[in-house]
Structure 1
């Protein structure tokens, strides 16, 4: 959401003093245009009619999963569903068997994330499974330990070389500050907080999973492979599955 609006502002050279108003206009107008048309209703209707096992992908970006109802706040094509995860989902209760969201919940405030989890619980069928992958605050805090692993040192160097041109050297402090502010990040969860939010939303049988692994076949190997180098994605990410 923030990434898309920032790209627009840079492309069309919107002046800094006008950026906040322009962002508000972008965020309001695009979903409104979609809601006024029949595009999203058609996408939902066609997906539901064609799939007995129903799977919702929230915040798909460019990771379009076969057999899933792929959705995004700023869908890149008319084939994708426009979905605001912080609002009421446009589905009846008990509509889906699986829901997946990766590196998305950290882009909305905690209250918005809790809404997403609550709505996910509502639209899942009994026994349905939610899989959330998101950056783990613990990985960021671990960068500050005296004895860093080789992978942690590589990560700090990679992030600095790629994103932090003004850093005086390889510093976990610069990496931390960039990570919690960049890409529209709003709230970075630790495992305890994410588990508590999922339980508040009504989920049970919470289980932390390795990246790309699951007891449930539809939830295996579905994370985006193009986001960052695989070893860094594993370092950053925690994945929790929960059952309705």
Structure 2
């Protein structure tokens, strides 16, 4: 786990996440469910759910980079942003934690708030990778054991394939779907954003860019 010096931490007692209001500077680039990984020059948003609070507790406080740069937002509700606003959006390792019906709503709200031609870059464990890594020995005992390592332990509930994600995106209205590689993009703003190199090494994740 990442460690922080005391000077880099804000006491957890009394900490309140930043809230989005009419005074919030809204970048043209947004990162959803950013966790501890806030990007400079982007609008970083997160649930501030139990998983993130667990990290704060173990650190002994809230990292200043999070406290000062991440806004609390329920991204499974209507997003407080205008239509056709963002140029770029990024989301790493989030959609596998939500039900398929919630993913439809999330992808729609991202679509609504992207400008025409705007791009969402997604990184998520893919079903092909999960099956290859966790369920490549199809016997009863192995499947039970790997249900924990693939699903329960990490709060994972649903895995996409490129085909299923493309189907969902096209019905929502995205006009282009491009499978891409870890850290690589035709758009400079979307290069080298992923942080989970180990998932790329084991070929678990799929990476894609969806264009409005």
TM-score (norm: length of structure 2): 0.75
Residue in 2 that maps onto 1:69? 43
Question: 2:98 matched to 1:127?
Answer: no
Residue in 2 that maps onto 1:237? 205
Computed over aligned residues only, the root mean square deviation of the Cα atoms, in angstroms, reads 2.4
2: CA distance, partners of 1:120 / 1:185: 21
Which ranges of structure 2 fall in alignment gaps of 5 or more residues? 1-14, 53-65
What displacement does 1:82 show? 1.2
Pair 192,77 (structure 1): closer, same or farther in 2 beyond 3 Å: same
Map of 1:72-87 to 2, 5 A cutoff?
72-74=46-48, 76-77=66-67, 79-87=69-77
Counterpart among 19, 31, 40 of residue 20 in structure 2: 40
2: CA distance, partners of 1:121 / 1:232: 26
User: Is the CA contact 1:72–1:80 (under 8 Å) kept in the aligned structure 2?
Assistant: yes
CA deviation vs aligned residue, 1:145-181 (integer Å, no higher than 9, x gap): 47xxxxxxxxxxxxxxxxxxxxx9xx57623442122
1: CA distance, partners of 2:79 / 2:35: 18
Map of 1:220-231 to 2, 5 A cutoff?
220-224=191-195, 227=196, 230-231=197-198
Question: 2:74 matched to 1:96?
Answer: no
User: Is the CA contact 1:205–1:243 (under 8 Å) kept in the aligned structure 2?
Assistant: yes
Map of 1:100-111 to 2, 5 A cutoff?
100-111=90-101
Hey, which bits of structure 1, 4+ residues long, moved more than 4 A? none
CA deviation vs aligned residue, 1:107-154 (integer Å, no higher than 9, x gap): 1111111111000010000100011110011112224447xxxxxxxx
Structure with bigger gyration radius: 1
User: Is the CA contact 2:90–2:121 (under 8 Å) kept in the aligned structure 1?
Assistant: yes
2: CA distance, partners of 1:145 / 1:215: 34
Q: Size of the alignment, in residue pairs?
A: 177
Which ranges of structure 1 fall in alignment gaps of 5 or more residues? 1-29, 147-167
Larger relative strand fraction: 2
